[in-house]
Structure 1
Amino acid sequence: MREVDPTITKHVENLIDAARPYAPWTTLSDFQYTETAVQGLLKPKFIDTQLKGMTGSWLRGQGDITLKDYHEYRRVLTQAHVSGVQFRKATVKATLWGVEKKYTFFYRDPWEWIRSLVTDPSLASVTTWKSRRMFYCENGHRERFIAEPWTADCWYEVDTELPLPNPYPHCWVPLHIWLDKGLVTKHVKMFPIVARSLSLPSEIRNASGNGGGVFLGFMVMVKDPGNPKDRTDKENYEFAQFKREIYQQVLEIIFSSLYPRSWRGEVVTCGDEITRVLYPGFLIESLDFEEAWNFTCCRAGRAKFPCPRCLVSQEMLHFLQRTFEARTSSNMRAIVCLAQNAPNATQKEKILMEHGLHDVVHFMWNFRFSDPYQAVSYDLLHFDESGKWGHHLWPLILDLLGELRLLTEMTDIMSKFPHWRNLKHIDDLATKDFADGQTHFDILKCIVFVLVQLLPYKCSLIHCTRTLLQFRMMGGLRGMTDSRIEVFQKLIGTYEYWCERVSKDYNKNFRFPKQHFIVHAVQDIRSKGVLRNATTRTGEGFHQEIAQHYSKTNFREAEGQIANEDEDQEAIARTRLIVDDFFRHLSGEDVDDNEATNQQSETAQFKQQSGRRIPKSKLPPASSDNQWIFGSVLRSGDSRSYQDLHAGDDPAYHSFDPRLRDFLHGQFPAEYLTAEDRIEVETFRCVYITFQSKDDWMECEDILRCNNNWYKSGPRYDCVLFNQDKPGLACARLRSLIRCKLPSGRITDIAIVQTMKRSSWRPRTVWDGCAVYDEEKDFSFLLMDYVIRGALLVPVLPSPPSRPHSRLHFFVDVVDGDMFLRSLNSTIHVCY
């Protein structure tokens, strides 16, 4: 938190008092206390006690805080709400079985929120107003790539329909809508609605700061008046239709301000001081299937035509390479109108059933540049991680392992899976139920390498799981080129083939909507950008925020109280931006993003070791331009002392001094090293390696360990990829990280490694992309200049009887998108 410099002159103090960037608070201390109370989720009684103490006997009137009690605290904070978009109250009603039911809800006007974004000067430089065509070029090769929504086709098509400047440019403002029920306590569910502006980069719109998603309000939770099993099919249908009617009424009220502007636009002077005509619309809806059915007014999973995107029948859900008639606003509206004009109820019901619809008018049918059906997007979280894998293939595998009595062995092998950054290490795989999608994804990444030696030879489940993982890795890339989309489409065909095999081998039924939605994945990429843009994972954390707000309510009619808490948070956040900006300009500071990034890189090695003191390196790095940074110094000395110190207990250091001299002479012949020359040596236990990701061509970082007792849990020696003359991926295990200072003053970084050689041994089931390496027993030196990035290799367990003393490892090519593409391109595939 920024404080006023105590040496500030009286003149500057007067300027601060006159400007009052912290208004409506009387003093900066008033705002700082309120900020702390709001962020700390303090209860009213604690705030009241603290304020009375600070303005009374505690500080005896010597403090700067003028707020006297909770009521005054609340009054000023409420005044600050006007800086943001405030909530409104509305009521909807509908009739169910002859009884009219009313529901009250709170919402924000999305147009007011859009105006606050587009007029914000701090967001002007990162806002995109027009679609773009982007291309990746390398060595004469050129192909289009798609990433953010403005690089895809739908935005381009809208731009071609908008008028030419007359005199102002006409621009589309597409929105991302997220709706999902979630638990805020063990027994209480709430249904938040969040909107994001797709005109902003994903790093901004998916974050919680300025430009991030806005909480628009709650969808009404329609409680079931009875037990569905006690009702007839007709009564269940009537209740489902009632819920959708309420659903549509709520959405129509919330988004009513956008409808006229989607047609005629509105003139707005934006944050870059350019006047534009803005047209709001809906491009992406992130929903699980239950909410997709509700949102589109379609019938649910058992309907004859259950897909909210197309008219595919139940019998065709497992076909992944066929096309089906798309649902659109125009053809679905025509069907509902036809049903409403049917001569009798029987005919009406038949028409609706034949198209999987309810007799409900959709609020979005009349919007321009918006289609409620085509905006429903492929969700990696619910459709892949928690869907096809978490609810279908994973339970099937567990059942099979249970029959084979291999659950304990699987858990033991999984517990020995090497640690890797951003990959959850799971020790209780078979004894615990996992609900979150990220854990399911981590299991999916590991499970093929764990099960391949346990399941039968040429097991179709291994192939099916592996192909689903390849599909998920490809679908999760941050950038999709034409060649990547081509590989992606081939994977869909391969996945369909192995699903058919699993159906025959294990009697598994793949006719379910989340399986079918793969049909729409490629179209979503081409029209809306990469699938990451639409994942519901970006909104999952919002349930935690709602739960925090809920904890401050009286637990009765909590929606209004939560809305007020969100307004508090918004007011504090906006005021903090203004205060920080004011003092930054007052002090003449000029923020240098590159400098900040460099400082973060220089201190990165210490963040990972917080809680204990790290010795400072005695030998400086050879260059600040290296792609690696050594961290966690172990000891210093010279090459001969290291040989004497480790000769007895560590084979990596046997004959260390002569081997090191031979290596250095071969690498740097101009150094003319003699046997008498002293070589200073310093060892380290971790290395931070930066590399350009093949995924989105941005800089990424690996943190690799080289420690004989990592966090007191035993040795950890990570692996690396390195450059070699031969084709394919070259791997080695780090055994020591060394910095050497030669007599000439040259400083060089070296690793002692055990290289991995491709093995001819093959597991029981050889999957696409299977790579097996054999770890050599001998140790060698490797210049860090040749290291590309970290690599994950997992030991083959149980050890194959044919090679009981081998050190075989599987190469894990799915740790991230970069590694997946590197491995893919090392085979017959070519994927830019």
Structure 2
Amino acid sequence: MGSNIPAPISAATATTSDRLDTFKTEYHPHSGRAPIIESFSVYGTNKPETTQSPIIDDEPWQPFSCRADFEFAELAHRAALSKDQTNELLKFIWRVADGRTKFTFKTHNDVSAAWTRASSQLTPFERHVVPVEYKKENIEYEVYSRPLWDWALDLLDNPLLAPHFPWTGDRWWNLQTSLPHNGAPFAFILYADKMHLSSAGTVKAYPVIARCGNLPVEIRNVDGPGGGRLVGWLPIVPADSDEDGKLSYTNLKKVVWHKSFKILLETLSLISKTGFAHQCYDGILRWLFPLILILSADYEEQCVMALIRGFNSACPCPICLVPKDKLTDHSTIYPTRIIDDAQACVRLWNMDRTAGEAALKKQSLRPVDNSLWIVERSSPHDALSQDTLHAYDSGLFGDHMFEEVKDHLKTLGRTAEKTTDDQFAAFPRWRNLNHFDHVTNISFSDGNKYLDISKQILYTTQNVLTRKDDEAGYALLKCIASYLHAYMYITFDVHTESTIAAGEAEILVFQKCLDEYIEILGDEATKNWNFPKAHSMRHIFSDIRAKGAARNFSTRPNEKHHGPIKRAYKLQTNGKDIANQILRLDHTTFVSVVLRNRINHFDDERRKAILSERELETEDLDDRSFGGHIHLGAPQSAITFAQLENDNVSNRAFGQFRKKLSTFLNHALPAYNIPLPDGKTWLTLSAQDTVQEHRYLKVNYESVVDWKLTTDHLRCNPSFHGRERRDCALVRTQDKDGNNKNIFVRILFMFKQSIGSQTLDLALVQPMDAPTGPQHAVDRDLRLRRLRARPLASTEFITLHSVIRGALLVPDFASTRGDFFLVDYVDSDMFLCSQRYMF
């Protein structure tokens, strides 16, 4: 506290004696310290610095073990390394430190120079300028492109991709027939879509992704040297509020797009007509003809690619000439668009604007030359395909049926909404299926989340949107049930004539259910169901017949590229000249992927050569593929039967565990031709015998859809990420008469049990085969498969080798009798098995 504050004194004449101010410091009574009064010279700005030496900590990095540990952890934190990245970096550091690998980099320049040398091996990007005249002014737009044919030759010259160039589908067959006898098609799949780079949406990008249609989907749709490649960066016409909505401005955007896209296709134009002789991996000289087989895009981009006028035009489909008021009519076939008609309309427009505009408007076309016309056998209307992500997941279901469900729940009141949310929260977890704690008050922009909601919504609303409480809502659920059936057929990875026929028939069922729902709503209808994405069902199975399974033309694998592009913009660019920077980074990333693929192939072959077959079998399989039927993982410490029974004394499922297990083993071992140990005629387990619990099971099974090996990952864990999880499975067993049958069970306990020299993989399960009585009306209408659990006291033991595959069962939230529903939409194998009643 200051006192006796003097009047201001000039700095030139002030002396210490002039300063009469003193400062009094009072301490809290609990401190036991007396007040002190100090003069300005002691307290103020001229107070001399203390001469006391600071305490020096000999190990300031504590509690880290050493300074290097702290500095590594600090660097990993600043770089925001993930757990996997941190582990990989640590493994690399120790390989270098132990002298097991050579390392030469010393500076960032060394790293950059190495990437430059490696990048020169693959086709780089080229910058182009596209001039466009608008309102008598020439405007220039920048386009970046990677010559498509040079990229194709990169693929053809890759020895790891060489053996993989097949294809299926009617269109491929027809294209092959149209070529010279020794000609071979080289098919491109192209994707283009605008994206936001900045969170505010002010910075945008327009990438073009290419995939090779000759490569199998397992290679081209995943990350790797044969996967999708960023091949173009299109310009975006700046927004202009004064011009927006004007026909001339709209046409300008289309002109810029197609002139830019034409640059990307230029290397294919002449070759598509003459062919290109190339000596392939097998030494055979082939005559290759490039073509655009598939254009993968959402509806808005399809309109740009096909140069049609959009959903408000007379014919809003980019593939056929369906009138805009007939988009939900799936029973009528309308004329298909062809290039000759479009070219004739554009020629007429160039000669006579009035007559040309009338002709173009009749077919909803733009007066612009289509860039795809320069590539032979590449009609945009044939190449455009129905995309499940935008047409169905985000469109038909997400924007329409799901929003309608939420409206019906809101009308019923907050209790209905809360019940639905609670039942979503209680929905059992399953691998690769998003879990939702609530859905009624949120919306998504992620089609994958809409897809997962669609697979759960019938089971979580069937006891809320009942026929009694909401007739229209119940009719909507019938629509969703039919939609899901059609969707499952659409997304099969392999089709037969019977699955395609079943899918086409289901689309007509869906149309009927939708008409009934709209009729029940009457004047209360608020949604317009006559929209282009609903019409896409009319073409989906034609696309499948022509181009193979729907995953061939899905935008899903292409939209995954948006994430790395956004991250590169945010973390590795300075916000200027972003196209050039991002494309350079993408080129480096792709070079890295190619080299990593080669290294992994080299490591795998060397590992197989070094390790014996027995050593390969004993490697940890929890996180790796395996060749057998089952693999038990997540082992726990061995415990005695006495301890196990004591820990579960209140759980009826474990009642008389040891006695029931003894009975099971005495019947099962002879059935499997396994002799009882020590020549015994009856096996008895003691309370001190031990058992080893496992909480993770991997099951390999052959899918009935594509006959390929598929793996289910099952958990039996009292606390899996903080929640109890007891997965279910389909198992093969016998009835009381000794006949084989398949039943569903809930896995309660998995363990390994040693009997003499044998180790058995076993499980305690709760069978789900109790009688359910007459079929419920809701089960019939919503196509639900009901199961009923036996009482917990009726648990049984099974050998885990009897597990056929995993199963997702959800409780019937309205039942008090232990009823469950089979979620047969969880994957295509379960769906097809359910339709064929193979259980």
TM-score scaled to structure 2, two decimals?
0.79
Q: Shift of residue 590 of structure 1?
A: 7.0
CA distance in 1, matches of 2:820, 2:666: 33
The residue type equivalent to 1:110 in the other structure is L
CA distance in 1, matches of 2:112, 2:698: 48
SS of the equivalent of 2:309 reads: coil
Equivalent of 1:182 in 190, 195, 203: 195
Q: Shift of residue 636 of structure 1?
A: 3.0
In the alignment, is residue 276 of structure 1 matched against residue 286 of structure 2?
yes
CA distance in 1, matches of 2:755, 2:111: 66
Equivalent of 2:634 in 624, 628, 632: 632
Equivalent of 1:529 in 545, 548, 555: 548
CA distance in 2, matches of 1:448, 1:544: 32
Q: Which residue of 2 aligns with 1:396?
A: 404
Q: Which residue of 2 aligns with 1:659?
A: 660
Q: What stretches of structure 1 of length at least 5 have no aligned partner? A: 1-35, 43-62, 129-149, 609-623
CA shift in 2, pair 1:647/1:122, >3 Å? closer
SS of the equivalent of 1:374 reads: helix
In the alignment, is residue 556 of structure 1 matched against residue 594 of structure 2?
no
8 Å CA contact retained: 1:549, 1:562: yes
CA shift in 2, pair 1:772/1:589, >3 Å? closer
8 Å CA contact retained: 2:208, 2:234: yes
CA shift in 2, pair 1:90/1:818, >3 Å? same
CA distance in 2, matches of 1:68, 1:627: 50
Q: How does 1:286-301 map to 2 (within 5 A)?
A: 286-301=296-311
Q: Which residue of 2 aligns with 1:21?
A: none
In the alignment, is residue 111 of structure 1 matched against residue 119 of structure 2?
no
CA distance in 1, matches of 2:591, 2:395: 39
The residue type equivalent to 1:162 in the other structure is L
Q: How does 1:744-759 map to 2 (within 5 A)?
A: 745-757=757-769, 758-759=771-772
Q: Shift of residue 593 of structure 1?
A: 13
The residue type equivalent to 1:181 in the other structure is K
CA distance in 2, matches of 1:361, 1:487: 40
8 Å CA contact retained: 2:483, 2:510: yes
The residue type equivalent to 1:717 in the other structure is R
8 Å CA contact retained: 2:666, 2:682: no
8 Å CA contact retained: 1:184, 1:544: no
CA shift in 2, pair 1:579/1:99, >3 Å? same
Q: Which residue of 2 aligns with 1:806?
A: 817
Q: Shift of residue 303 of structure 1?
A: 0.4
8 Å CA contact retained: 2:191, 2:558: yes
8 Å CA contact retained: 2:293, 2:383: yes
Number of residue pairs matched by the alignment: 712
CA shift in 2, pair 1:496/1:75, >3 Å? same
Range with greater deviation from structure 2 (379-388 or 176-185)? 176-185
In the alignment, is residue 315 of structure 1 matched against residue 325 of structure 2?
yes
8 Å CA contact retained: 1:195, 1:215: yes
Q: Shift of residue 80 of structure 1?
A: 4.0
SS of the equivalent of 2:348 reads: helix
How big is the alpha-carbon RMSD for the aligned residues of Structure 1 and Structure 2? 3.0
Equivalent of 2:499 in 484, 494, 499: 484
Q: Which residue of 1 aligns with 2:745?
A: 732
Equivalent of 1:362 in 363, 366, 370: 370
8 Å CA contact retained: 1:682, 1:740: yes
In the alignment, is residue 496 of structure 1 matched against residue 511 of structure 2?
yes
8 Å CA contact retained: 2:631, 2:697: yes
CA shift in 2, pair 1:257/1:525, >3 Å? same
Equivalent of 1:203 in 218, 233, 244: 218
Q: Which residue of 2 aligns with 1:45?
A: none
Equivalent of 2:729 in 687, 702, 720: 720
Q: Shift of residue 570 of structure 1?
A: 3.6
Q: Which residue of 2 aligns with 1:793?
A: 809
CA distance in 2, matches of 1:596, 1:352: 68
Q: Shift of residue 510 of structure 1?
A: 1.6
Q: Shift of residue 808 of structure 1?
A: 1.3
SS of the equivalent of 2:380 reads: coil
The residue type equivalent to 2:629 in the other structure is Q
The residue type equivalent to 1:206 in the other structure is N
Equivalent of 2:172 in 151, 155, 159: 155
CA shift in 2, pair 1:676/1:604, >3 Å? closer
CA shift in 2, pair 1:468/1:74, >3 Å? same
Q: Shift of residue 822 of structure 1?
A: 1.0
8 Å CA contact retained: 1:262, 1:279: yes
SS of the equivalent of 1:480 reads: coil
Q: Which residue of 2 aligns with 1:762?
A: 776
Q: Which residue of 1 aligns with 2:55?
A: none
CA distance in 2, matches of 1:817, 1:677: 43
CA shift in 2, pair 1:400/1:827, >3 Å? farther
CA distance in 1, matches of 2:619, 2:441: 42
SS of the equivalent of 1:511 reads: coil
Q: Which residue of 2 aligns with 1:140?
A: none
Q: Which residue of 1 aligns with 2:234?
A: 219
Q: Which residue of 2 aligns with 1:145?
A: none
Q: Shift of residue 214 of structure 1?
A: 1.6
8 Å CA contact retained: 1:180, 1:191: yes
SS of the equivalent of 2:260 reads: helix
Q: Shift of residue 432 of structure 1?
A: 2.5
CA shift in 2, pair 1:578/1:711, >3 Å? closer
Q: Shift of residue 368 of structure 1?
A: 1.7
CA distance in 1, matches of 2:560, 2:528: 33
Equivalent of 1:569 in 583, 589, 593: 589
Q: Shift of residue 536 of structure 1?
A: 0.3
In the alignment, is residue 408 of structure 1 matched against residue 408 of structure 2?
no
SS of the equivalent of 2:246 reads: helix
The residue type equivalent to 1:826 in the other structure is Y
The residue type equivalent to 1:816 in the other structure is D
SS of the equivalent of 1:433 reads: coil
SS of the equivalent of 1:164 reads: coil
SS of the equivalent of 2:622 reads: helix
Q: Which residue of 2 aligns with 1:686?
A: 696
CA distance in 2, matches of 1:313, 1:387: 20
Q: Which residue of 2 aligns with 1:605?
A: 622
8 Å CA contact retained: 1:245, 1:360: yes
CA distance in 1, matches of 2:754, 2:744: 26
Equivalent of 2:788 in 766, 770, 774: 774
Range with greater deviation from structure 2 (693-702 or 96-105)? 96-105
SS of the equivalent of 2:354 reads: helix
CA distance in 1, matches of 2:374, 2:716: 62
CA shift in 2, pair 1:750/1:75, >3 Å? closer
Residues 516-539 of structure 1: CA deviation (Å, up to 9, x unaligned): 011111110111000011110011
CA distance in 2, matches of 1:182, 1:446: 30
SS of the equivalent of 1:207 reads: coil
8 Å CA contact retained: 1:727, 1:826: no
CA distance in 2, matches of 1:594, 1:252: 53
CA distance in 2, matches of 1:255, 1:498: 44
The residue type equivalent to 1:692 in the other structure is E
SS of the equivalent of 1:444 reads: helix
CA distance in 2, matches of 1:574, 1:262: 28
Equivalent of 2:120 in 82, 107, 111: 82
Q: What stretches of structure 2 of length at least 5 have no aligned partner? A: 1-74, 82-101
8 Å CA contact retained: 1:728, 1:826: no
CA distance in 2, matches of 1:810, 1:207: 34
Report the structure number with the largest CA radius of gyration.
Answer: 2
CA distance in 2, matches of 1:358, 1:212: 33
Q: Shift of residue 602 of structure 1?
A: 5.0
8 Å CA contact retained: 2:481, 2:783: no
Q: Shift of residue 494 of structure 1?
A: 0.8
Q: Larger relative CO (CA 8 A, sep 6+): 1 or 2?
A: 1
Q: Which residue of 2 aligns with 1:614?
A: none
Q: Which residue of 2 aligns with 1:823?
A: 834
Range with greater deviation from structure 2 (690-699 or 657-666)? 657-666
Residues 286-306 of structure 1: CA deviation (Å, up to 9, x unaligned): 111111111111111100001
CA distance in 1, matches of 2:603, 2:712: 34
Q: Shift of residue 212 of structure 1?
A: 1.6
Residues 88-118 of structure 1: CA deviation (Å, up to 9, x unaligned): 1111122333433221121110011011111
Q: Shift of residue 460 of structure 1?
A: 1.0
In the alignment, is residue 435 of structure 1 matched against residue 436 of structure 2?
no
8 Å CA contact retained: 1:729, 1:823: no
8 Å CA contact retained: 1:321, 1:492: no
